[in-house]
Amino acid sequence: MAARQSSARFWSGLISAYGQELVVFGCIVVMFVVVGTYNPRFLNNTNLVTIFSGNAYIAVAAIGMSLVIITGNIDVSVGSLIGVLATVAGTLVVNGAPVWVSWLVPVIVGMAINTVLGLLVAYLRIPAIVASLGMLSILKGGLITATGGKWITGMPEGFFLAQQRWLGVPTPIWFMVILTVLAAYWMRVFPAGRTFYAVGGNAEAARAAGIDPRRTCVFAFTLHGLFAGVAAVLFSTQLQVIQSTVPPNLELTVITASVIGGVSILGGTGTVIGSTLAAILFGCLGSAMVFLNVSAYWLRAVLGLLILATVLADMARRSRYQSAATA
């Protein structure tokens, strides 16, 4: 009797803590069932592997974005940043640098650029959306200036990290899973990680508790740069050509993945597991639409509706908890 009560409490505790993540996971399962019934080829090994490994870079970038959003900020320049870092990787390797250098340097450059962004936000008190809007323009314009708009081709075979497989599983999937688990664990367990939640939830209270919100904010941005760098390497090593432009609306996709995954734009809550699941959901949705023969014209409308439905579901769930908590 007592055991049943405590196990019920355990489950309801789990659901309330990971509610949104479970919702997203549930959506993925539903989608697989629906599309798989309509066209079983959707569930093919090759198809699933393609979807996961092709969208892994978005999930990795979303980890970094989630960190920034949890601390109460935002970054709309991540798309341009990934474009710049991809070009850095390609240019290095095409000009003779060793392959591992061309993988490492973008990560370092990403951390450097985003640290500057973090400093602008934390110490010069420029609102994050403004600072990152400005950074977006600087990076976008700078990329075209530096490359002259040319593509990069002719990378050596060893460069293509994203096409390799370790133990039969494509490397992007490894990166996505390992980084997600590491980040989630670190944020929950290590004090340094928990300060992100503290600062995002209530910066003043955090300061009173001895945490320096500014240092935490910069740290979040620096880590975000690291993940953006890894995402850029995965992105640039997938294909034989690196364009000097980035996928349209990449930053919005990454932000949406973070938010749908449960990270609140108000700061203070959410996990990176949610953002990874949401990135997977979106990657699958695009492919699912094609498999379901949805007319290409209505694809984006359906996507928009689904985002809206998920957001509303999340808000409804939150308000239910708030009223339950105050009851």
Partner 1 sequence: MTKNLLVRHETILAALLALALVVLTTQSSHFFTVENLLNQCRLMAEMGIVGLGMTFIIVTGGIDLSVGSILGLVAILLGVFWKNVGLPLPVAIVLAIASGSLAGLFNGFIITRFNVPPLIATLATLALYRGLAEGISESHSVRGYPDWFYVLGQGDVWGIPTQLWVFLALAIVAIFILGVTPFGRGIYAIGSNAVAARFSGISVKRSLLSIYAASGFLASIAGVIFVSRVSTTRSDMGTGLELDVITAVVLGGTSIFGGRGTIVGTLLGLILMQALKSGLLLAGVKGDGTIMAIGLMLIGSVIVSNLFRMNTDG
Partner 2 sequence: MLKKALLASATLLLAVGVAHSATWTGGDDQPTNPLACDATPPTVAAKPYDGGVPTNPPDRKGKPIKVVDVPKLIGIGYFDATSKGIAEAAKELGNVDAKTDGPTKANIDEQVTFIDNYITSGVDGILFAANDPVAISPVLKKALSKGINVVGYDANSQPDARQWFINQSPFNGIAKSLIDNMAKEAGEDAGVAIVTSTFTTPNQARWIAEMSTYAAKCHPKLQFLETVEAQEDNNLSFSQATTLINKYGDKVKGIFGMTSVATPASAEAVTQAGKCGKIAVIGLATPNAMKPYVAKDCVKSVVLWNPIDLGYAAMEVLRATADGTLKPGSTSVKAGRLGELAVINGSEILLGAPFVFTKDNIDKFNF
Stretch of 51-59, 200-208, 225-233, 299-307 contacting partner 1, by CB under 8 A: 299-307
Contact (CB, 8 A) for 162 and 238: yes
Stretch of 103-111, 124-132, 177-185, 187-195 contacting partner 1, by CB under 8 A: 124-132
Measured over the CA atoms of residue 185, residue 190, residue 196 and residue 202, the dihedral's sign is positive
Interatomic CA distance for residues 82 and 136, integer angstroms: 11
Q: Pick from 297, 323, 324, 325: which binds partner 1 (CB under 8 A)? A: 297
Interatomic CA distance for residues 13 and 11, integer angstroms: 5
Give the DSSP H or E segment for 169. Answer: strand 169-170
**Site for partner 1, residues 55 to 74, rule: CB under 8 A:** 74
Measured over the CA atoms of residue 240, residue 167, residue 277 and residue 78, the dihedral's sign is negative
Q: How far is the CB of 286 from partner 2 (least distance, A)?
A: 7
Contact (CB, 8 A) for 70 and 266: no
47 or 202, CB closer to partner 1? 202
**Site for partner 1, residues 184 to 203, rule: CB under 8 A:** none
Scanning the chain, the segments in alpha helix (DSSP H) are: 2-17, 19-38, 45-70, 78-94, 99-122, 128-147, 171-189, 191-201, 203-208, 213-236, 250-260, 272-291, 299-326
Interatomic CA distance for residues 165 and 298, integer angstroms: 35
119 or 299, CB closer to partner 2? 299
159 or 196, CB closer to partner 2? 159
Q: Pick from 154, 298, 320, 321: which binds partner 1 (CB under 8 A)? A: 298
144 or 181, CB closer to partner 1? 144
Which residues of the shown chain bind partner 2 in the complex (CB under 8 A)?
39, 41-42, 44, 46-47, 50, 54-55, 140, 144, 147-151, 153-154, 163, 235, 238-245, 247-248, 286-287, 289-299, 301-302, 305-306, 308-309, 312-313, 316
165 backbone dihedrals φ, ψ, rounded to 5°: -130, 135
Interacting residue ranges for partner 1, rule: CB under 8 A:
74, 76, 120, 124-127, 129-131, 133-138, 140-145, 252, 255-256, 259, 265-266, 295, 297-305, 307-308, 311-312, 315-316, 319
